[in-house]
Amino acid sequence: MKDILQKLKNGEISVESAEKMLRNDHIVELEDFAKMDIHREMRTGIPEAVFAEGKDDEELLKIIKSCSNNGIIVTRLTNQRYQQMAEGINEVLTPNMAIEYNPKARILVIRTQEVKKLVKSA
Residue 118 has pLDDT above 60, yes or no: no
Q: For residue range 31-70, list pLDDT tens digits in order.
A: 888 888 877 887 788 889 999 999 999 999 999 988 877 8
Q: What is the residue-averaged pLDDT of the chain?
A: 86
In sequence order, what are the residues at sequence separation of 6 or more whose Cβ sits closer than 8 angstroms to the Cβ of residue 21?
A: 4, 13
Of the pLDDT bands very low, low, confident and very high (cuts 50, 70, 90), residue 91 is: very high
Identity of residue 110: I
- Pick the residue with more confidence: 121 or 3? 3
Of the pLDDT bands very low, low, confident and very high (cuts 50, 70, 90), residue 117 is: low
Domains and CATH numbers, the chain: 1-30 (no CATH), 33-111 (3.30.110)
Residue 119 has pLDDT above 80, yes or no: no
State how far the Cα of 76 lies from the Cα of 111, in Å rounded to an integer. 18
State how far the Cα of 97 lies from the Cα of 90, in Å rounded to an integer. 10
